Structure formats: structure tokens, C-alpha cells
Structure 1
């Protein structure tokens, strides 16, 4: 895995395969490794899978300033530059937290992004803007449930609350110790991720300016707030297609990697053939 220095941080990213560059941005509580299974089906692509601040092999955020999605976007662009792709056209896939950072990267025109695949991007503030108070309140319940437990020093309780919300009651207790320890090692990074999610400045008006092709992906069995965010994007983005993954919840790149890879390949084939409409 390539490594370089960016500011005070050591940054790691995966760089595998040949062909058209495809940038894959991971969810919170994960790393670039979350794309391994889906990547096995994307063999015709050069896959770039950076680790965000505090995840995988990348050092944590060391500033007193609150970490923002813009900071993660800057980090991703630095990885593209290190990979020799600063002036190249790239297509970007972003899941959850990574989807929010991908949108910031495009809005700020930090790279030559041709198209996006957004898998349930973490854009919960759009719910508040759209008047979806109940659904935004559900996301706030999740975010503050994690943040408040961390502030009280209850890391295990924070992760049990978060993991069980995402995957069903009892999931955390069913994890082996090794898996629990991996999550516990990401407590600070995930705390910062929730803060950056709540502070994300992306608006519906911003989304209306994104004229590039976007495939918006939603799991059939995801949570109501995540589903509604994807619906808002479907109805707001000027050049969007909408795909539902049957039986999938929020973590579809891990639970349904073949379906995710198929959606990405279909998206890419349409882009490359000029068949997007």
C-alpha cells in the first residue's frame, strides 16, 4: 500500500489494477479495505482506495479545528496527486461518509471528476433543510448517542449503540474480540466523523449545481433517514439515476459487494459508451 506525508499525517491508500482510474471512498468506521470484495469484480479498472484521517493506515486528524469533509476531500486529492493522477479524469464512488466527502470534492472542483456513484451518502443536514424534522431527529439521535457516550468515556457502549443501530440488536455482542478492538481503535476518528457530518455545509442548492452524471444507490432495507436522503438527491440532482439494491441495508459494499460492483460497472459502461441520458 503506497504511503506519503501530507501535512503532519502519514497517508495510506490502495492502488491496484490498470485501466480507467476509479476512486473509491469508504464509510465511517471503516477503511479503504472495505472495497476489497467489490474490487475483485472491477478488474478492468485502476482502483484507488485511500484511508481517511484516522482510519486504516492514515494518521488521525491532529488539528484543534473540527475535522470537516472538506479536509477529507483535500486528503483524497493529495492521494490522487501522489498516485500521478492530479491531471487525470477520474470517476468517484463514495459510500456513506465517503459519499459526503466526494460531493465536497466535486463542489469545490478539486479534481477532474467525470461522474459519481453515491451509495447512501451521509448528507443528513439535507433532511433538516427539506423540512424532514422527524427523520433528521432520528439521525441526530444516532449521532449524539455515539458522541455523548464517547464524551462520558463509554467507548464500548458507543460502538454497541452505533453497530446495533446499523445492523440490528445484539450485533456488537456477537463480534469477536478482535473485531471489537478494531472498532474501538477508531473511536476518535468516528467521533470526528459524526461531528463533520453534523457540520456538513452541503445544501440542496449545491446539489442542484452538480450537472455531472450521478448514480444514487440505496439499500432496500436501509434506515428511513438514509433512504430519504437518497430520494432527495434523486429528485434534486439534475443528471441522476436511482438504483435500489434488493435486501441490502446501509453497509451494502460489505454485505452485497457483487451487487455494488455490478452497479458500478453498469454506471461506468454507460459513461464510457456515451449512453448516459
Structure 2
């Protein structure tokens, strides 16, 4: 995995920043710079300059294993969206490497099981899976962007649309970990002992509010924040507001 650094000179980084699906490390650079962080920012597998995922085993696990060599000391771990689910799992499985967690709309959908929001989420992703399985990755990407992207699909550059369509299999590959919780992370969340900061956009998917409420309920040392006027991509659209909470 490729590791890229920003915001520090002459000192080891003390922060790990994990981006969302269909993005790359540059997506978190504005936040790192606004907060003045000494951070290491890897590209997830199949993203940016990192190698493609080989399709073996579980996608979240593959990313966790690729990231671990970068965590050379206990760090503040900041994760956005799918990156937030990796951050949570790191805190559960390697608590010795995490001093603090900041989770920006972590898409750990399993935490909303049994809610109306989960039913709406499943309907959205059924349509995405159907489009992809029928050989229409563009339609799958368009539906995913409508729920979790920035702005209108029509305003995106053709190369951005193509990249998103190509990356949709990775979005769905995350399902066993984040929808089915095959690693039993939910049951182990009360073991998290470090401070946790939750950040979500005011204009978020209903399931994100449910996920945040569950995390705040089971991890007592959690502080929750809402960024006014922001959506799922708050680190990109409102980096200064997010940085102020760090």
C-alpha cells in the first residue's frame, strides 16, 4: 500500500487518516491541512496509487492488514465512511495502536439492524446490486452517488464517472464486514476505551444517524457532532468545520 504524508516535518506522524470508498488519500488532505495534523494518509486497496485488491478473503480485512505496517506507534485514527469502519475495527483488534478515534459517518450498517433506516438502506443497495449484476456499472455508480456523493451526477467529469463505475465492485465487496458484521465488531465496541469523536453531516442518510446513536450508546466516552449544511462528504465540503472539532 502506498503511504503519503502531509503536515509534518522532522517528526513522526501521530495521526492515521482513512478515506472513503471511491476516493483516494487526497480527499482528506484539506482536512489534514486545516487541522494542522502530522498524518499518514494511505490509499485503500484498489484506490489511488495502491495495488488492486486480489479478491481473496474479505476486503475490509485486506485493507486492515495492508494498513497495519504504517501504524508504527499509537495514533489518533480518523476514518471517513468505509475508512471509519476500518478505524473501528483497528480500535477493537489492536487497541494498543489507537489513542483516539474520530469517525466521520462510518458506514457500519450492521449497527442499524432492525430499524426503518436499515430497510431504506437495503432498498437503495438492492437497486445498486441489481444494476451491477445486470452489467450496468454506470447506473450502479449513479445510484450510489445519489445517496453518498457530492452534487449532481451530471456535473461530474466523464473520467470521474468512469472511475466510480469501475470501483463499484469494491463498494459491494465491503458488505460482509459492514452489513453482516462477519468480524463480530459490534459486540466488541464496549471494549473501546479511547475517546471517540463522531461527526456527521446535517444532510445525511437516515441510517447514519442510527449508526451514530448506537456507537454513542455503547461507547460511553463518545462525543457527537453535526456539521450544519453538510452531507456525507463533509471532510471535502466543510474541512474547516470538521477540523475545528479535532
TM-score normalized with structure 1 length = 0.81
2:99 maps to 1:114: yes
Partners of 1:55 and 1:145 in 2: how far apart? 24
1:156 alignment counterpart: 138
Alpha-carbon separation, structure 2, partners of 1:203 and 1:193: 14
Residue equivalent to 2:163: 182
Pairwise CA distance, 1:143: 2.5
Per the alignment, in what secondary structure is the counterpart of residue 61 of structure 1?
Answer: coil
Q: Deviations over 1:11-38 (max 9, x none)?
A: 2121123255111111111111111211
CA distance in 1 between partners of 2:164 and 2:149 (Å): 14
Aligned equivalent of 2:239: 257
Deviation at 1:203, TM superposition (A): 4.6
Between the aligned partners of 1:226 and 1:113, the Cα distance in structure 2 is 23
Deviation, structure 1 residue 118: 0.8
Aligned-pair RMSD on alpha carbons?
2.0
| Residue number in structure 2 paired with 1:22 | 15
The runs of at least 4 consecutive aligned structure 1 residues that moved more than 4 Å come to none
SS at match of 1:23: strand
Question: Could you say if the C-alpha distance between residues 142 and 194 of structure 1 is closer, same or farther in structure 2, counting changes exceeding 3 Å?
Answer: farther
Q: What whole-Å deviation, never above 9, does each CA across 1:199-257 have from its counterpart, x for those lacking one?
A: 33345431111111101112111111011111111122121111111111111111111
Look up the match of 2:54: 62
Structure 2 equivalent of residue 126 of structure 1: 111
1:246 to 222, 228, 235: 228
**Runs (5+) with no aligned partner, structure 1:** 1-10, 265-277
**Alpha-carbon distance between aligned partners in 1 of 2:238 and 2:94, rounded to the nearest angstrom:** 31
Residue 13 (str. 1) matches residue 3 (str. 2): yes
Pairing of 1:77-116 with structure 2 (within 5 A): 77-80=68-71, 85=72, 88-109=73-94, 111-116=96-101
Measure, in 1, the Cα distance between the counterparts of 2:128 and 2:96: 33
| Structure 2 length-normalised TM | 0.90
User: In the alignment, does 2:16 pair up with 1:31?
Assistant: no
Q: Give the Cα separation in 1 of the matches to 2:44 and 2:22.
A: 10
Question: Contact between 1:24 and 1:48, CA under 8 Å: does it hold in 2?
Answer: yes
Q: 2:184 & 2:202 partners in 1: Cα distance?
A: 25
| SS of equivalent to 1:247 | coil
